[in-house]
């Protein structure tokens, strides 16, 4: 399937998804509300902690807001664009409708990409952005263009990490059908990325930087934005690592898809 | 107990999917571990002996207790009611001679039994042996009673909340929002003593205080015997209140349901 | 002589089937170890499909029908064997191959649930790269034929089953597929809707030359549509040929209903089996036509009894097929 056709398909799916959402306006609104409340609980809890203690080493409260906002931005981006690889795959397989996906004369991965768009994710992203901006204003930081650039790329790296996770879960669905369990496991393990890596000690920090880079969920993007880290070498290492991981995850998904076709659904 | 067949089915259903069992076994402790590391780092950096009236070991115990309680006390009766209403199963449930809340309790208990063996007991053992979980015998006993009362509080609170779904169609996200707010206000994320004073005082008048925070405090020995007993009494009163609210609301809702049909 | 559009040789497919545990102890055990057995779903199947024919693919549930269809559509890989369809190996050249086929799976909808069917039609246009003018032409033709002009603008979830099926058909055929696979297309439809769908299939086959492979349990579908049928059971093809030949080969009886003028307690005719006695005046016989002709049986009835009326019926195709299923089961269990 060539690129032009993919773009057309993608945007057509997007507008159809938008129409769907408009039909179920109330559900969309309530879901968005739940995502916003979920995004606010973190900052609120951290606010209370900072009221009675100095909080996290090396992070003032406004800086924590930037950190927490970034988590929502990274995850929100994933949610909006690719998270569905984890559960839509399972959904289609359980209902036996994945076969109809295979009947389309298009690359399956590309097709799934256009099917998993979820507008709720954009709500999360916006909420995260708001929290981040509040943090920036109260912190007195004024990130320059380079800071924002690094931030953007690192957020994309974090997005790729979640993308890889989603593909991993989707791959498991081909074999085991149910997805909720794998999602729970990965989602909960990823929570290690919800706090500054500096609290983990050197071994875990290393693991969460170079092996399973959970630090990309927020720690590294936030650090580069705030100018606390400026190590370009680190930036390239992390990006390189993410490209490799993403490539492997895509391969895994494709292979699982192929096995699904050979083992039978 | 009447209708214990549901209990067995609930228990079996819990094991029907081994992946689910495995997932919960691996996944949920991760959150606990993270919270412990987080608080260790906060205490370490602050150099304080106590935060929110808790020492580090008390804080760790607090989260362990919250986790343990969370395993057993979770309840989904509001979404169950919402889904039964929306998908038309309510009529079928009403044909059962047992009362609706007895049916739901049975569903819940079966699942609890499964959780008890696969998650609760291992976690308690590990916590006692490696994480320093301990308490006096009296406190532990009072805690168990408080936990049971808390469960019934939450159950009837959810049942009453679920009555909303006779009118409101969207139950999944509505309940999720309710759970987030109630979870936050009951001390699941943060002990209520870390909250600003005015807020924690207000919460004391709300049931949420008694879902998790108060039972945890009993376990940690933060309450004197007298206060613990009063807590149990207050919990019991809340149960009566929610039970009454539910019965009244249920009666009214059914009248309309049977007359009009959802 | 129309050429073969599909050729299947020595097709085999086996699956690993995991045992679901019954009882609490085995449920606990299964957390640690899963037992599985190998199931041969398709056993050395070979056949051809001619261009432009409507082929009925019949068999009881679990016979291996859907497995063969999935391999023909490129969704599933065989364990061994070859398929040549439209010059492609379906599972190898899937993306290119499926652009030329269409499928309607009775239970699995490709229409977007919350949107009007027309939105899905437009989506198909993009997916199959259908040029504008061809798309509009076919859309108009089929919308007219199936009378869906009004309902294509209603959200699919508000349509009745019959209306939805009509839209499914259109969605699957907009790209003018050379072969179309229909899996239980008339299931759950009322008589009128069934007629509409069957008429559509016949028309499409005639006008566009579309080859149709139809799996169904509905004998009406078979009798009205199929040029040829293949019967599969337990992964083996047990019959391939026309419906007419099927009847000739397997029909061994016809039905004779006799109404008497007076009460007959125990009516009897040579080489006939009394299968029903609704009341004292009526008798339903199964006439074994391999041993005697219907004429003889009728002659005997008139000679022996005081007859008011008679009625002669063919053995239903359904009972023939049921007979074949039973015979196969018996043969296979004898082999064991």
What CATH number does residue C141 fall under? 3.40.50.300
- Domain membership of residue C34 (yes or no) is no
C87, two tokens: 């010059």
C256 and C239, same domain (yes or no): no
- pLDDT score for B91: 76
Q: Is the pLDDT of residue B4 over 60?
A: no
Of the residues C230, C247, C264, the one at which a domain ends: C247
Mean pLDDT, rounded, for A210-216:
92
Q: Which of B74-78, B125-129, B178-182, B256-260 has the lowest mean pLDDT?
A: B256-260
- Domain membership of residue C30 (yes or no) is no
Mean pLDDT, rounded, for A86-90:
85
Give percent of chain A with pLDDT exceeding 70: 97
Measured between alpha carbons, how far is residue B98 from residues B87, B155, B162, C6 in Å? Answer: 20, 17, 18, 60
Per residue in A144-193, pLDDT tens? Answer: 999 999 999 999 999 999 999 999 998 988 877 666 777 888 888 899 99
Please provide the average confidence, as pLDDT, over all residues in chain C: 86
* Neighbouring C-beta atoms of residue B236, cutoff 10 Å: 15
C237 and C178, same domain (yes or no): yes
Instruction: Find the domain containing A178 and state its range.
Output: 3-22+58-263
Q: Is the pLDDT of residue A59 over 90?
A: yes
C150 and C280, same domain (yes or no): no
Please provide the average confidence, as pLDDT, over all residues in chain B: 84
C211 and C261, same domain (yes or no): no
C290 and C173, same domain (yes or no): no
Q: How far apart are CA B24 and CA B31, in angstroms?
A: 11
- pLDDT score for B1: 46
Q: Is the pLDDT of residue B229 over 90?
A: yes
Beta bridge partners of residue C85, listed in sequence order: C6, C88
- pLDDT score for C246: 82
* Segment (H or E) for C35: none
- pLDDT score for B8: 61
- pLDDT score for B20: 64
C163 and C298, same domain (yes or no): no
Q: How far apart are CA A190 and CA C140, in angstroms?
A: 52
pLDDT level of residue B28 (50, 70, 90 thresholds)? confident
Q: Are B29 and B64 in contact (CB under 8 A)?
A: no
Q: How far apart are CA B72 and CA C146, in angstroms?
A: 57
Beta bridge partners of residue C309, listed in sequence order: C259
* Neighbouring C-beta atoms of residue C318, cutoff 10 Å: 14
Cβ contacts of C107 within 8 Å, gap of 6 or more: A96, C184, C187
Residues of chain A contacting residue C92, judged by C-beta atoms under 8 Å apart: none
C310, two tokens: 């008679």
Task: Give the number of C-alpha atoms closer than 13 A to the C-alpha of residue B98, restricted to the C-beta side.
Answer: 15
Inter-chain CB proximity A180 and B38 less than 8 Å:
no
Q: Are B225 and B138 in contact (CB under 8 A)?
A: yes
- Domain membership of residue A37 (yes or no) is no
Inter-chain CB proximity A263 and C129 less than 8 Å:
no
For chain A, the distance separating the N- and C-terminal CA atoms, rounded to the nearest angstrom, is 25
* Segment (H or E) for B168: none
C55 and C142, same domain (yes or no): yes
Distance from CA of A264 to the nearest CA of C (A): 6
- Domain membership of residue C305 (yes or no) is yes
C122 and C221, same domain (yes or no): yes
Q: Are C1 and C26 in contact (CB under 8 A)?
A: no
- Domain membership of residue A97 (yes or no) is yes
- The residue of chain A with its CA nearest to that of C110 is A100
- Domain membership of residue A239 (yes or no) is yes
A 105-134: CB under 8 A from C = 105-107
Beta bridge partners of residue C47, listed in sequence order: C8
- Domain membership of residue A211 (yes or no) is yes
Q: How far apart are CA A100 and CA C124, in angstroms?
A: 12
- Domain membership of residue A43 (yes or no) is no
C190 and C302, same domain (yes or no): no
Measured between alpha carbons, how far is residue A106 from residues A100, A111, C119 in Å? Answer: 12, 7, 19
Q: DSSP label at B49?
A: S
- Domain membership of residue A34 (yes or no) is no
B187, two tokens: 């001390």
How many domains does one find in chain C?
2
Low-confidence ranges of chain C (pLDDT < 50): none
Smallest Cα–Cα separation from C151: which of C141, C165, C137, C135?
Answer: C165
3-state class percentages of chain A: helix first, strand second, coil last, to nearest 5:
85, 0, 15
Per residue in C47-84, pLDDT tens? Answer: 999 999 999 998 887 788 888 999 999 888 898 999 99
- Domain membership of residue C328 (yes or no) is no
Per residue in B136-156, pLDDT tens? Answer: 888 889 998 999 999 999 999
Q: Is C193 exposed, middle or buried (0-12, 13-18, 19+ CB in 10 A)?
A: middle
pTM for the complete prediction? 0.84
- The distance of Cα B29 from the centroid of its chain, to the nearest Å, equals 17
**Three-state secondary-structure class, residue C306:** coil
How many domains does one find in chain B?
1
Residues of chain B contacting residue C31, judged by C-beta atoms under 8 Å apart: 15, 18, 21-22
- Domain membership of residue C238 (yes or no) is yes
CATH of the domain at C281: 3.30.70
Per residue in B98-124, pLDDT tens? Answer: 788 888 888 788 777 777 777 777 778
Distance from CA of C263 to the nearest CA of A (A): 58
pLDDT level of residue A265 (50, 70, 90 thresholds)? very low
**Three-state secondary-structure class, residue C311:** strand
What is the value of ipTM here, to two decimals?
A: 0.89
C229 and C261, same domain (yes or no): no
Q: Are B160 and B242 in contact (CB under 8 A)?
A: yes
Per residue in C120-177, pLDDT tens? Answer: 999 999 999 999 999 999 999 999 888 888 888 889 988 988 889 999 999 999 999 9
* B135 phi and psi angles, rounded to 5 deg: -165, 165
Q: Are C219 and C264 in contact (CB under 8 A)?
A: no
How many domains does one find in chain A?
1
C282, two tokens: 């009526």
- The residue of chain B with its CA nearest to that of A199 is B41
Q: Is the pLDDT of residue B207 over 60?
A: yes
Write the residue in A41, A45, A184 that is nearest to B23 by C-beta: A184
- Domain membership of residue C89 (yes or no) is yes
Give percent of chain A with pLDDT exceeding 90: 66
C257 and C130, same domain (yes or no): no
Instruction: Find the domain containing B149 and state its range.
Output: 4-260
If you search the block for the tokens 């930081």, which residue do you land on? A141
* Residue ranges of chain C whose CB lies within 8 Å of a chain B CB: 24, 27-28, 30-31
Q: How far apart are CA B125 and CA C195, in angstroms?
A: 68
Q: Is the pLDDT of residue A41 over 60?
A: yes
- pLDDT score for A16: 93
Smallest Cα–Cα separation from C163: which of C172, C179, C151, C149?
Answer: C151
C68 and C214, same domain (yes or no): yes
Instruction: Find the domain containing C301 and state its range.
Output: 252-313
Chains that touch A (3 or more CB pairs under 8 A): B, C
């Amino acid at each position: 399937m060539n690129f032009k056709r993919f773009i057309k398909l993608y945007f057509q799916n997007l507008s159809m998804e938008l129409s769907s959402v408009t039909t179920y306006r109330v559900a969309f609104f309530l879901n968005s509300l739940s995502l916003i409340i979920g995004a606010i609980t973190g900052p609120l809890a951290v606010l209370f902690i900072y009221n009675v203690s100095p909080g996290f080493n090396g992070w003032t409260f406004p800086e924590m807001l930037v950190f927490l906002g970034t988590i929502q931005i990274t995850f929100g981006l994933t949610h909006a664009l690719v998270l569905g690889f984890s559960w839509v795959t399972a959904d289609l397989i359980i209902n036996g409708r994945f076969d109809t996906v295979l009947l389309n004369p298009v690359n399956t991965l590309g097709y799934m990409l256009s099917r998993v768009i979820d507008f709720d994710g954009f709500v999360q992203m916006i909420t995260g952005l708001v929290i981040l901006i509040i943090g920036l204003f109260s912190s007195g930081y004024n990130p320059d263009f380079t800071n924002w650039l690094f931030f953007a790329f690192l957020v994309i790296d974090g997005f790729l990490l979640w993308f890889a996770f989603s593909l991993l879960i989707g791959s498991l669905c081909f074999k085991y059908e149910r997805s909720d369990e794998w999602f729970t496991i990965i989602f909960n393990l990823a929570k290690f990325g919800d706090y500054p890596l500096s609290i983990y000690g050197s071994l875990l920090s290393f693991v969460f930087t170079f092996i399973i880079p959970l630090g990309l969920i927020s720690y590294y993007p936030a650090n580069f934005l705030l100018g606390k880290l400026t190590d370009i070498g680190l930036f390239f290492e992390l990006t390189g690592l993410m490209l490799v991981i993403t490539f492997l995850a895509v391969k895994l998904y494709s292979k699982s898809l192929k096995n699904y076709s050979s083992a039978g659904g | 107990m009447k209708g214990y067949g549901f209990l067995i089915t609930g228990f079996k259903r819990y094991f029907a999917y081994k992946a689910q069992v495995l997932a919960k076994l691996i996944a949920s402790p991760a959150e606990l571990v993270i919270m412990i590391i987080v608080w260790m780092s906060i205490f370490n950096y602050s150099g304080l002996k106590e935060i929110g009236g808790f020492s580090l070991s008390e804080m760790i115990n607090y989260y362990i207790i919250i986790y343990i309680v969370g395993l057993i006390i979770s309840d989904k009766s509001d979404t169950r009611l919402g889904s039964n209403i929306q998908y038309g199963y309510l009529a079928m449930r009403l044909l059962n001679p047992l009362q609706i809340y007895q049916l739901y309790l049975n569903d819940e208990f079966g699942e609890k039994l499964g959780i008890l063996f696969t998650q609760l007991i291992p976690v308690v053992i590990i916590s006692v042996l490696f994480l320093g979980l301990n308490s006096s015998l009296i406190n532990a006993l009072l805690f168990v009673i408080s936990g049971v009362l808390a469960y019934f509080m939450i159950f009837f609170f959810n049942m009453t909340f679920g009555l909303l779904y006779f009118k409101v169609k969207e139950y999944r996200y509505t309940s999720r929002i309710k759970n987030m707010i109630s979870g936050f206000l009951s001390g699941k994320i943060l002990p209520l003593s870390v909250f600003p004073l005015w807020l924690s005082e207000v919460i004391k008048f709300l049931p949420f205080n008694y879902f998790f925070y108060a039972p945890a405090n009993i376990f940690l020995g933060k309450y004197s015997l007298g206060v613990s007993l009063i807590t149990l009494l207050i919990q019991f009163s809340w149960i009566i209140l929610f039970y009454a609210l539910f019965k009244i609301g249920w009666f009214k809702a059914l009248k309309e349901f049977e007359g009009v049909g959802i | 002589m129309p050429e073969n559009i599909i050729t299947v040789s020595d097709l085999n497919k086996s699956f690993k089937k995991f045992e679901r545990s019954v009882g609490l102890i085995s449920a606990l055990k299964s957390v640690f170890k899963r037992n599985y057995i190998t199931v041969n779903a398709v056993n050395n199947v070979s056949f051809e499909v001619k261009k432009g024919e409507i082929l009925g693919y019949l068999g009881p549930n679990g016979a291996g029908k859907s497995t063969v269809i999935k391999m023909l559509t490129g969704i599933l890989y065989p364990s061994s064997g070859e398929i040549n369809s439209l010059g492609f190996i379906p599972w190898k050249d899937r993306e290119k191959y499926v652009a030329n086929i269409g499928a309607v799976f009775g239970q699995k909808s490709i229409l977007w649930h919350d949107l009007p069917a027309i939105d899905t039609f437009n989506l198909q246009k993009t997916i199959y790269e259908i040029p504008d003018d061809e798309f509009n032409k076919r859309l108009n033709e089929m919308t007219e034929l199936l009378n869906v002009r009004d309902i294509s603008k209603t959200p699919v979830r508000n349509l009745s089953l019959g209306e939805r099926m009509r839209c499914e058909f259109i969605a699957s055929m907009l790209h003018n597929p050379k072969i179309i696979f229909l899996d239980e297309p008339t299931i759950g439809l009322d008589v009128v809707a069934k007629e509409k769908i069957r008429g559509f299939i016949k028309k499409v086959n005639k006008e566009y030359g579309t080859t149709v492979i139809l799996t169904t349990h509905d004998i009406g579908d078979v009798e009205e549509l199929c040029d040829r049928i293949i019967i599969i059971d337990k992964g083996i093809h047990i019959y391939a040929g026309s419906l007419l030949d099927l009847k000739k080969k397997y029909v061994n009886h016809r039905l004779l209903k006799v109404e008497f003028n007076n009460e007959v307690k125990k009516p009897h005719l040579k080489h006939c089996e009394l299968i029903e006695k609704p009341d004292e005046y009526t008798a339903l016989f199964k006439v074994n036509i391999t041993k005697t002709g219907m004429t003889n049986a009728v002659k005997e009835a008139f000679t022996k009894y005081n007859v008011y009326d008679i009625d002669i019926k063919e053995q239903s195709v359904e009972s023939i097929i049921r007979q074949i299923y039973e015979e196969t089961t018996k043969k296979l269990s004898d082999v064991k």
